A and B are shown apart, each in its own frame.
Chain A
Amino acid sequence: MAFSNQTPTIVVLKEGTDASQGRGQILTNINACLAIQETLKPTLGPFGSDILIVNSQGKTTISNDGATILKLLDIVHPAAQMLVDISRSQDAEVGDGTTTVTVLAGELLKEAKTFIEDGVSSHLITRGFRKACELCMHKIEELAVDVRKEDADEFRQLLERCARTAMSSKLISNNSDFFTKMVVDAVLSLDQEELDEKLIGIKKVAGGSIEDSLFIDGVAFKKTFSYAGFEQQPKYFTNPKIVCLNVELELKAEKDNAEVRVEQVKDYQSIVDAEWKIIFNKLEEITSTGANIVLSKLPIGDLATQYFADRNIFCAGRISHEDMDRITKAIGGNVQSTCSDITPADLGTCATFEEVQIGGDRYNLFKGCPEAKTCTLILRGGAEQVIAEVERSLHDAIMIVKRAISNHTVVAGGGAIEMELSKYLRDYSRTIAGKQQLIISAFAKALEVIPRQLCENAGLDAIELLNILRSSHAKGETWYGIDFQKESVGNNMKNFIWEPALVKINAISSATEAATLLLSVDETIRNDEQEQAGPPQGRGRGAF
């Protein structure tokens, strides 16, 4: 395709528009994706390392989570952007396996590259890949082990094992005993029908070691801004009555922009009195409900704080929307937007309320909530980045547990399922004639990237272990995968390295989709006006 300089240039597109096409374009796109894959590869698996990214504002992130890294890389290449999108969709859909899906998609493209170079039409390749993917889906569904939900113990174990596998590659892998329990407790405390993970509050407090993190079967939030008098309020209640408000309790102008014209000096005092009366009426109404704790989304001013302190009532204003949402979910009751007509039914309660010191901050804890459809994790750690990574890891684990509850079939991790699928596809490919045979076996080969990369990251001999794995799968050992404890191969179903089948199904299908999509693109037209500032001579043909 090096003739472009000799043919007379016919200007169809606006100057500065970047167009490239043909087979070269496909190869360029594949190369771009491979470069991204190369970056993510070392983070895969329990011995995967982390990547430290500093953005232009100087904010540091240390992460092992594929989706997070890709998001922060700030990728501009349109094809490589595709990989970012699939990892994000995996994150949104299942929450884990974001690295897997990117690595897999990259590997599929790498396999396809040789075919393209050999002049195979990309349509044939995509058809082959789709077929292979379909076969994989059926095979996974066939192989996946169903764990009975009726047996509570067994079911809990399933969840814990899935959570553990999800955490194994993260910073917290050595504390996974501690965190699996926390994660499973957290998800089980949710409403099992809705499983809205937003109701699991995660609070981060720097300081302390990772295992000082707390699980609270209720709500916790940081002490809000308080006015003088706050410290005189009681800080501990058992079975308190709690009223939640969306009312501002402050002495203030009731109407903005209103102006009062005072005609006579004596009227002056009556206006002052009227304003006081408004706020005092509100306060009296609240007190008369018998509530011990007053919470509000809007500020509670110093006057109200002192008023409550006088009557042994605890109050907290300026509670964030999410916290308030979770509080009402936990303690029952409704958020009131007026102070009048508060019935006892609108009040919530919990077993204990307490203000405690956690690290350098004081926290308000509501424990033992009757409705308890929510819970809070308080994460600790030596540095902000540590906590941020713990949070991301827990998020992954929570999503996995959530998936496992609604979809309780599992497969073995550690490369076991990939090897089995690879073997199955290879066997299948031999039964068909034509180019599809090659393409499907290429798909099979691409699947092997997962166990291979796992070995490489752990510093094991990938070639040797893969050979052993292939032979054991050929002998019918379905669940053989990499065993990192023994640094060899083992039955990962028995080793309890479990993953929800859904994660794998989603990872393989979205990787295939991304790969096929990229293969079918043979022209990029980019109208990028900023690029005009670049060197004017010669229209570059790459994606530059």
Chain B
Amino acid sequence: MAAQGMPDLSNAIVAQDEMGRPFIIVRDQGKKQRKHGIEATKSHILAARSVASIVKTSLGPRGLDKILISQDGDITITNDGATILTQMDLDNQIAKLLVELSRSQDDEIGDGTTGVVVLASALLDQALELIEKGIHPIKIANGFDEACKIAIDQLDKVADVVPIEDESYLLKAAKTSLGSKIVSKSHDHFSQMAVDAVMAVADLERKDVDFELIKIEKKVGGSIEDSLLIKGVLLDKDFSHPQMPKQVKDCKIAILTCPFEPPKPKTKHKLDISTVEEFKLLQEYETKKFQEMIDLVKQSEANVVACQWGFDDEANHLLLSNGLNAIRWIGGSELELLAIATNGRIVPRFEDLSPEKLGSAGIVRELEFGTTRDRMLVIEDCSNSKAVTCFIRGSNEMITAEGVRALHDSLCVVRNLIRDNRVVYGGGAAELTCSLAVSEAADKQKGIDQYAFRAFASALDTIPMTLAENSGLDPIETLSHLKSKQVNENSSRLGVDCLGKGTNDMKELFVIDPYIGKRQQLLLATQLTRMILKINDVIISGKDEY
């Protein structure tokens, strides 16, 4: 009765009874995977490394895109770190942590999602070497924390304040973030769009930008340069009746949340119609209702009706014959945006319509695209400019989707600058100066922290090195050259000249990043490293069989 039928206990929690037979303490031991001690830490680091190596080549203006095919065959082409990682559907736990890392950078800052993953894996790589030397993982993590503080102090020191009133700086920052994206050939256009959009909705006093007010719409067709910013609202709808005029000027818009139908009680009800007279009465009642509704709209002097629900055919006809343009089936959030943009009030029933509740817009027109019969409605010259729509065009679905992501990144960059108007220089310049500061501080440390500091410094070097590599430069040569230059010229603005413009001065090239974005990258990467280093035991339950 020895080993037969026994589950595989080679890596489970095992105890033996007095006869030397192993017995089970934890449910489903055989199916559980277990890793222990340094072995676990090492395998985590390897997992992190392989994740980072996937996104590594997307870093920087010369970074390459990835093509991702989902299970349903949808294709995404992107070089946005967060998007790549989320769509990869990873199974490894540590890899999932890295995905969350880039996602939280995305949520908070919106840019630098690739950089943070590369940095975290570089830190782990360095930690691996130290662990092999026999240093306690938590001591390494503590050292990294200290080093991170120094790096952030250095960032503080070298950060430049830019006047956000001057749009040119915002434009440059937006341009930096677009540098690596597919839209980079029209990045002037896109960065202008991003800056205009954010400035239109920004509350400069509270330093708050509500992204709910910026809507991004995409439509396949045309080229990426045809993308435009609409100071108003764009609805993917058309007028309810094909014969309505395609353009209305000086609009008064009635925004309704009730259907153009005879009102119905919400309580369950039943109407027995037993005679022809009654049926006629009902019909009369309905016609009367429609007429009443139209009259109420007319009385309020509205000339456009925007409705959340549908219309009865009869109502539609009546609207046309009364010269009212109407839009139906507008979604709740779009309706809200429309109300905000036009300063109108959302009206729940016809009786409540009054002239002061109407929204006003300079022009409502129908856009027609190419030869397809697709139409969209543009509502412009609204009384409240605090609602804008970015309309992205592109030759195929993938490009428009990537355009939306790129625009989102640059919107975030501009918003971050409005929140905190300090900038650091890109192209790896900020990482280099931090690396120099940390390695200088390393020699002043007592004890094991020295090693951790040096490791942190070399991890920071990974960013400029990767940039150089992706741009086809010799990474080591570029790095050493830049380092010596930064020290000799005592300038923190020198970075990798990715595009071969002939200078390393990032200020001249206008490659700037928001300070809070960089700071966040450092902090998040260090904290995640700590978390991974601290794990020394992994228990994975078997998947349920059924």
Contact residues in B for A356 (Cβ distance below 8 Å):
208
CA distance A534 to B24 in the complex (A): 14
CA distance A447 to B268 in the complex (A): 73
Is residue B499 within 8 Å, beta carbon to beta carbon, of the partner chain?
A: no
Is residue A543 within 8 Å, beta carbon to beta carbon, of the partner chain?
A: yes
Contact residues in A for B270 (Cβ distance below 8 Å):
259-262
Is residue B373 within 8 Å, beta carbon to beta carbon, of the partner chain?
A: no
Contact residues in B for A206 (Cβ distance below 8 Å):
100, 103-104, 107
Q: Is the CB of B267 within 8 A of A231?
A: no
Q: Is the CB of B25 within 8 A of A209?
A: no
Contact residues in B for A227 (Cβ distance below 8 Å):
332
Q: For window 86-117 of chain B, which residues contact chain A by CB distance below 8 Å?
A: 93, 96-97, 100-101, 103-108
By beta carbon, the residue of chain B nearest A51 is B537
Within the complex, the shortest CB–CB distance from A119 to chain B, in Å, comes to: 14
Is residue B204 within 8 Å, beta carbon to beta carbon, of the partner chain?
A: no
Partner of A49, one of B16, B138, B346, B540: B138
Is residue B1 within 8 Å, beta carbon to beta carbon, of the partner chain?
A: yes
CA distance A73 to B340 in the complex (A): 53
Is residue A13 within 8 Å, beta carbon to beta carbon, of the partner chain?
A: no
Q: Is the CB of B541 within 8 A of A74?
A: yes
Is residue B308 within 8 Å, beta carbon to beta carbon, of the partner chain?
A: yes
Given the known A-B contacts A259-B269, A535-B1, are A231 and B17 also in contact in the complex, defined by CB atoms under 8 Å? no
Give B241-278 as 1s and 0s: 1 = Cβ < 8 Å from A's Cβ atoms.
00000000000000001000001111111111000001
Q: Is the CB of A76 within 8 A of B26?
A: yes
Contact residues in B for A272 (Cβ distance below 8 Å):
263-265
Q: Is the CB of A47 within 8 A of B285?
A: no
Q: Is the CB of B346 within 8 A of A28?
A: no
State which of A52-60, A157-165, A333-341, A363-371 sits at the interface with chain B.
A52-60
CA distance A253 to B265 in the complex (A): 8
Contact residues in A for B23 (Cβ distance below 8 Å):
28, 32, 77, 542-544
Q: Could you say which of A23, A50, A303 has the most chain B C-beta atoms within 10 Å of its C-beta?
A: A50
CA distance A77 to B13 in the complex (A): 11
Q: Is the CB of B17 within 8 A of A543?
A: yes
B contact residues, range: 35 or more
Within the complex, the shortest CB–CB distance from B507 to chain A, in Å, comes to: 28
Given the known A-B contacts A74-B26, A271-B267, A385-B97, are A50 and B536 also in contact in the complex, defined by CB atoms under 8 Å? yes
Within the complex, the shortest CB–CB distance from B309 to chain A, in Å, comes to: 11
By beta carbon, the residue of chain A nearest B134 is A459
Is residue A234 within 8 Å, beta carbon to beta carbon, of the partner chain?
A: no
CA distance A51 to B105 in the complex (A): 25
State which of A35-43, A88-96, A124-132, A413-421 sits at the interface with chain B.
A35-43
Contact residues in B for A264 (Cβ distance below 8 Å):
278, 281
Is residue A306 within 8 Å, beta carbon to beta carbon, of the partner chain?
A: yes
Q: Is the CB of A386 within 8 A of B332?
A: no
Q: Is the CB of A537 within 8 A of B105?
A: no
Within the complex, the shortest CB–CB distance from B237 to chain A, in Å, comes to: 15
Is residue B487 within 8 Å, beta carbon to beta carbon, of the partner chain?
A: no
CA distance A402 to B23 in the complex (A): 41
Contact residues in B for A49 (Cβ distance below 8 Å):
137-138, 534-537
Give B125-150 as 1s and 0s: 1 = Cβ < 8 Å from A's Cβ atoms.
00000000000111101100100000
Q: Could you say which of B26, B267, B333, B340 has the most chain A C-beta atoms within 10 Å of its C-beta?
A: B267
Partner of A357, one of B17, B208, B308, B530: B208
Within the complex, the shortest CB–CB distance from B359 to chain A, in Å, comes to: 11
Q: Is the CB of B348 within 8 A of A52?
A: no
Q: Is the CB of A229 within 8 A of B339?
A: yes
CA distance A263 to B273 in the complex (A): 9
Partner of B281, one of A32, A252, A265, A303: A265
Is residue B21 within 8 Å, beta carbon to beta carbon, of the partner chain?
A: yes
Is residue A292 within 8 Å, beta carbon to beta carbon, of the partner chain?
A: no
Given the known A-B contacts A228-B333, A260-B265, A269-B263, are A1 and B18 also in contact in the complex, defined by CB atoms under 8 Å? yes
Within the complex, the shortest CB–CB distance from B525 to chain A, in Å, comes to: 8
Contact residues in B for A2 (Cβ distance below 8 Å):
19
Q: Could you say which of A231, A385, A538 has the most chain B C-beta atoms within 10 Å of its C-beta?
A: A231
CA distance A274 to B534 in the complex (A): 65
Task: Summarize A's interface: helix, strand, loop or mixed.
Answer: mixed
By beta carbon, the residue of chain A nearest B213 is A231
Is residue A210 within 8 Å, beta carbon to beta carbon, of the partner chain?
A: yes
CA distance A271 to B536 in the complex (A): 69
Contact residues in A for B537 (Cβ distance below 8 Å):
39, 42, 49-52
CA distance A42 to B520 in the complex (A): 31
Q: Is the CB of A208 within 8 A of B104?
A: yes
Is residue B166 within 8 Å, beta carbon to beta carbon, of the partner chain?
A: no
Is residue A275 within 8 Å, beta carbon to beta carbon, of the partner chain?
A: yes
By beta carbon, the residue of chain B nearest A383 is B100
Q: Is the CB of B265 within 8 A of A383?
A: no
CA distance A260 to B23 in the complex (A): 69
CA distance A469 to B20 in the complex (A): 37
CA distance A507 to B282 in the complex (A): 80
Partner of A42, one of B28, B264, B348, B536: B536
Partner of A64, one of B142, B345, B534: B534
Q: Is the CB of A58 within 8 A of B543?
A: yes
By beta carbon, the residue of chain A nearest B33 is A54
Within the complex, the shortest CB–CB distance from B530 to chain A, in Å, comes to: 7
Partner of A174, one of B37, B145, B271: B145
Contact residues in A for B208 (Cβ distance below 8 Å):
356-357
Q: Is the CB of B541 within 8 A of A171?
A: no
By beta carbon, the residue of chain B nearest A385 is B97
Contact residues in B for A434 (Cβ distance below 8 Å):
none
A-B CB contact pairs (8 Å), 27 listed: A2-B19, A27-B18, A28-B18, A35-B13, A42-B536, A49-B536, A50-B537, A52-B538, A53-B539, A53-B540, A55-B541, A56-B543, A57-B544, A76-B25, A77-B26, A232-B336, A257-B268, A260-B267, A260-B268, A261-B272, A262-B272, A271-B265, A357-B210, A382-B105, A383-B528, A543-B23, A543-B24
The 4 closest A-B pairs by CB, nearest first: A383-B100, A209-B523, A207-B104, A49-B536
